[in-house]
Structure 1
Amino acid sequence: MPVPGGRGLVARSLLREDAYRAIRDAIVDGTLAPGERLNDGDLVEWLGVSRTPVREALARLEQAGLVQTRPGRYTMVSPLDVRAARNAQSVTAVMHELATREALPDLSTAELDAMRAANGRFADALHRQDADAATAADDDFHGVLVTASANEALREVLERYTPVLRRLERLRFSSLSGRDSVAQHEQIIALCEAGDADGAAAANRANWQTLAALIDSLDEGAGDRGASERT
């Protein structure tokens, strides 16, 4: 079959993905704050790309709930949305449970070692109150099982919904309040090593469900602010 027409398709794809990840990460780590207006020209200058990949990245970020757009008026970083966070947490917990079940039958010693190493980095980052490093290490830990599952559909769902939760997790990982996750990770590893698919899957799901308390606290905070504004 002849090579399809067109030039630079791979390069454009990479630019689009790079732009998406750069803007997404800046939103997750707080560099771009909730409510901040996003100007195409500023983003183009920052990223060193054309407007097309920037606009495509912003469209994907809007689908993920990280950006809000009013055509002809503005594009801005979405405020923290409790309802969106609850929905993302429910979906993400189930996806990680599924990843564990699908990964476990063929999980290697090297992959278990990678999970232990990531959890070690995670614990160290929490001790140093380094939220960025803790988030990256947590991604690495859970990413082992996601990659081992070899389920591309699962990966795509997590790619869409996890960033919403990472914005919240940085609040927890910036202090020692996330240290319970270290023990939960250790339990997941132990169950995986024992070949207990049901136990490991349930433990991984429970680990993601711990975000519910943080989401509840944000919801209560929003209610308290609303009450104070009415008085």
Structure 2
Amino acid sequence: MPVPSPSAPPNRTLLREHAFHALRAAIVDGTLTPGEKLVDTELCAWLGVSRTPVREALAHLEKTGLVQIQPGLRTVVAPLDARAAVEAQAVAASMHELAARAAVPLLTEEHAAAMDRANASFQDALGRGDVDAAIAADDAFHRVFVELAGNRMAAAILDDVTPLLRRMERARFGALAGRSSVAQHRSIVELARAGDTEGAAAVVRANWLTLRPVLE
């Protein structure tokens, strides 16, 4: 019988992205704890990839502030850094404000309804003390504007800075649960439905800046 030709090897970029997203998720959700030493061989075995994509992923994570690399010595999960989180917050607030300005004129009732559902899920998760569900719902709420705006550069910046904020929120969820975000979310949707671009953008910015007491 004919011998099948070997399948193409996995794309290196895909392997790197797989390693990056898996490692980032483990750092943000606390599976990999602040200060924990990261050993290449152990990470390769866990992720099922070679050393090159793991090292490339770690280098990217260092740039985004989630990993600290001391060449020739060690690589560790970065400690929680309130200052870095506050700096990331300022960038996130600006990018979400920018997204809101572009998205509100394009908003349909379907988009607004999706934001309403996400906010209801967010409120429910806060009430249950479910940090994972609360952050997922908050992400879903704000993702509507980001995707509708279609600004790829803003989305890429948010992809880098948001994990720093989410990591701190998870560590200090008690403070997160006391935020006024549910009411602010409602206000954002109401203003967007009314076509008030500047009003919605201002509340979006304020909503992200309410994280300040949680982060410090």
> What TM-score comes out, normalization by structure 2 length?
0.91
C-alpha RMSD of matched pairs (Å): 1.7
1:92 aligns with 2:92: yes
For residues 200-219 of structure 1, what are the structure 2 equivalents within 5 Å?
Answer: 200-216=200-216
Give the equivalent residue in structure 1 for 2:36. Answer: 36
Equivalent pair of 1:126/1:174 in contact (CA under 8 Å): no
Give the equivalent residue in structure 1 for 2:3. Answer: none
Q: Deviations over 1:151-179 (max 9, x none)?
A: 00101111111111111112344577245
Residue identity matched to 1:120: A
- SS of equivalent to 1:93: helix
Report the alpha carbon displacement of residue 113 of structure 1 after superposing the two structures with TM.
Answer: 1.2
Unmatched 5+ stretches in structure 2: 1-6
| CA distance in structure 1 between the aligned counterparts of 2:153 and 2:113, rounded to whole angstroms | 26
Q: Deviations over 1:44-67 (max 9, x none)?
A: 111111112111111111000000
Residue identity matched to 1:182: V
Give the equivalent residue in structure 1 for 2:45. Answer: 45
Give the equivalent residue in structure 1 for 2:166. Answer: 166
| CA distance in structure 2 between the aligned counterparts of 1:99 and 1:136, rounded to whole angstroms | 19
Give the direction of change, closer, same or farther, for the CA distance of 1:10–1:144 in structure 2 (3 Å limit): farther
Report the more deviating stretch, 170-179 or 133-142: 170-179
Q: Deviations over 1:18-50 (max 9, x none)?
A: 211111111111111111111111111111111
Give the equivalent residue in structure 2 for 1:24. Answer: 24
Equivalent pair of 2:176/2:214 in contact (CA under 8 Å): no
Give the equivalent residue in structure 1 for 2:150. Answer: 150
Report the alpha carbon displacement of residue 17 of structure 1 after superposing the two structures with TM.
Answer: 1.3
What is the aligned residue count? 210
1:124 aligns with 2:128: no
Report the alpha carbon displacement of residue 128 of structure 1 after superposing the two structures with TM.
Answer: 1.4
For residues 49-128 of structure 1, what are the structure 2 equivalents within 5 Å?
Answer: 49-128=49-128
Give the equivalent residue in structure 2 for 1:226. Answer: none
Equivalent pair of 1:126/1:173 in contact (CA under 8 Å): no
Equivalent pair of 1:131/1:174 in contact (CA under 8 Å): no
| CA distance in structure 2 between the aligned counterparts of 1:104 and 1:188, rounded to whole angstroms | 10
Give the direction of change, closer, same or farther, for the CA distance of 1:172–1:189 in structure 2 (3 Å limit): farther
| CA distance in structure 1 between the aligned counterparts of 2:56 and 2:187, rounded to whole angstroms | 40
Report the more deviating stretch, 107-116 or 198-207: 107-116
| CA distance in structure 2 between the aligned counterparts of 1:114 and 1:120, rounded to whole angstroms | 10
Equivalent pair of 1:19/1:54 in contact (CA under 8 Å): yes
Equivalent pair of 2:175/2:214 in contact (CA under 8 Å): no
> What TM-score comes out, normalization by structure 1 length?
0.86
| CA distance in structure 2 between the aligned counterparts of 1:176 and 1:129, rounded to whole angstroms | 10
For residues 175-190 of structure 1, what are the structure 2 equivalents within 5 Å?
Answer: 177-190=177-190
Residue identity matched to 2:54: V
Moved >3 Å (runs of 4+): 7-10, 171-176
Residue identity matched to 1:28: V
Equivalent pair of 1:126/1:179 in contact (CA under 8 Å): no
Residue identity matched to 1:66: L
Equivalent pair of 1:130/1:174 in contact (CA under 8 Å): no
Report the more deviating stretch, 173-182 or 163-172: 173-182
Residue identity matched to 1:73: L
Overall identity of the aligned pairs, in %: 57
Give the equivalent residue in structure 2 for 1:225. Answer: none
